[in-house]
Amino acid sequence: MKTLSMEYSPYSTFSKEEWAKLRFNTPMTLSKEEVKELQGINENLSIEEVTNIYIPLTRLLNLYATASQQLHGATDTFFRRNTRKVPYIIGVAGSVAVGKSTTSRVIKALLSKWPNHPKVEIVTTDGFLFPNAVLEARGLMKKKGFPESYDTRELISFLAKIKSGMPNVEAPVYSHQFYDIIPGKYDRIDQPDIVIVEGINVLQTPSLKDDQTLPTVFVSDFFDFSIYVDAEKDDLVDWYVARFKKLRDTAFHDPTSYFHKYATLSDEETEEIALGLWNQINKVNLIHNIEPTKTRADLILEKGANHAVSTIKLRKI
């Protein structure tokens, strides 16, 4: 473990080699085929990455979740009652194209193999974006993904229900194909052991405007543990453009896709469009809204240009 500037940092910093040693005897529970299915578009998730980064991480999360369950039991003992345990909630934040969804899927796959919390669910905040019709009426279509484009009140209400142990809580469903909320469609979250909440905005706090006052509850208040997936901006834009090109060759060819108009573009045209979207929307959102929340996370996964995690920072307790 690195000691340089540790005195002044709220984090303990580990190289991937140091972090891998914290796996101890935790077994690898995923096959090569399962690992391949978990990787995102234009990513190359390896068995080594899962073994050295994600198994130690989920070992830590298992210890934390188990301790939380034991504390819940101790509280019940104190009050002489027997209440239903509530889910342990993990927040996963980071830029567009950084690999949050892959991180969330790997964590879910590994945590669900532990015997004391087999039911793990992922909820993405995309479902809590305002519908396109609302965004257009408010002039926010070019700020989709910015804090103001989300129905934060509804997201907080959802998390409050989940954290209270309520059964069959409904989460709106977002379609990347249609680039919009699907009316009347919901995922039901029925009292899982662990919930992973993934989204670019999950660690953000609202900014004051005019005579507004800060709300008393934030999305992150419901998290028991939070993770920020980080990378250099030059790498992020490269990954975003590469992913856009991959989608042009695959998903965009579906005539029902919102982005079907890009399916026949040349490489040069595709790169120009992707860079424009990145610079006008995603980069601005990253600089002003997402990146400033990084140090609110309990753990930071820093990625290198090859999309693999190179450094891990864990908040000191």
pLDDT at 2: 46
Structural domain contains residue 234: yes
Structural domain contains residue 32: yes
Structural domain contains residue 52: yes
Structural domain contains residue 1: no
**HEC states along 154-190?**
HHHHHHHHHHCCCCCEEEEEEECCCCEEEEEEEEEEC
pLDDT at 83: 75
DSSP-derived secondary structure for 55-70: HHHHHHHHHHHHHHHH
Structural domain contains residue 208: yes
Rounded to two decimals, the pTM is 0.93
Cα distance between residue 169 and residue 264, in whole Å: 41
pLDDT at 208: 55
Instruction: Work out the end-to-end distance of the chain between its first and last CA atoms, rounded to an integer number of angstroms.
Output: 16
pLDDT at 1: 47
CATH of the domain at 301: 3.40.50.300
pLDDT in tens, the chain (317 residues): 444 445 678 999 999 999 999 999 999 999 999 999 999 888 889 999 999 999 999 999 999 999 998 888 888 889 888 877 789 999 999 999 999 999 999 999 999 998 887 899 999 999 999 999 999 999 999 999 999 999 999 999 999 999 998 999 999 999 999 999 999 999 999 999 999 999 998 998 766 555 555 557 889 999 999 999 999 999 999 999 999 999 999 999 999 999 999 999 999 999 999 999 999 999 999 999 999 999 999 999 999 999 999 999 999 97
Residue 10 CA, chain-centre distance (Å), reads 22
CA angle 62, 100, 317 (to 5 degrees): 45
Structural domain contains residue 267: yes
Structural domain contains residue 51: yes
The CA-atom distances, in angstroms, between 47 and each of 53, 54, 216 are 10, 10, 43
Q: Can you give the residue range of the structural domain that contains 17?
A: 6-315
pLDDT at 243: 96
Domain tally, the chain: 1
pLDDT at 76: 84
